[in-house]
Amino acid sequence: MMTGQSDGSLIRTASFDNDCPRERIEIVSKDEGVGSGQYVLNVCGTQIKYKRTGTVYHRADQNPVPGGGR
- Report yes or no on 69 lying in a domain: no
User: What pLDDT score does 3 carry?
Assistant: 46
User: What pLDDT score does 70 carry?
Assistant: 53
The DSSP result for 17-41, as a single string, is HHT--GGGEEEEEEEEETTEEEEEE
Quick: pLDDT tens for 44-60.
999 999 999 888 999 99
- Report yes or no on 70 lying in a domain: no
- When divided into structural domains, the chain yields a total of 1
Range of the domain at 32: 5-63
- Report yes or no on 68 lying in a domain: no
User: What pLDDT score does 69 carry?
Assistant: 55
- Report yes or no on 10 lying in a domain: yes
User: What pLDDT score does 43 carry?
Assistant: 98
Q: How far is Cα 70 from Cα 17, in angstroms, rounded to an integer?
A: 22
- Report yes or no on 32 lying in a domain: yes
User: What pLDDT score does 1 carry?
Assistant: 36
* Regions of the chain short of the pLDDT cut 70: 1-5, 68-70
Bridge partner list, 46: 43
pTM, 2 dp: 0.82
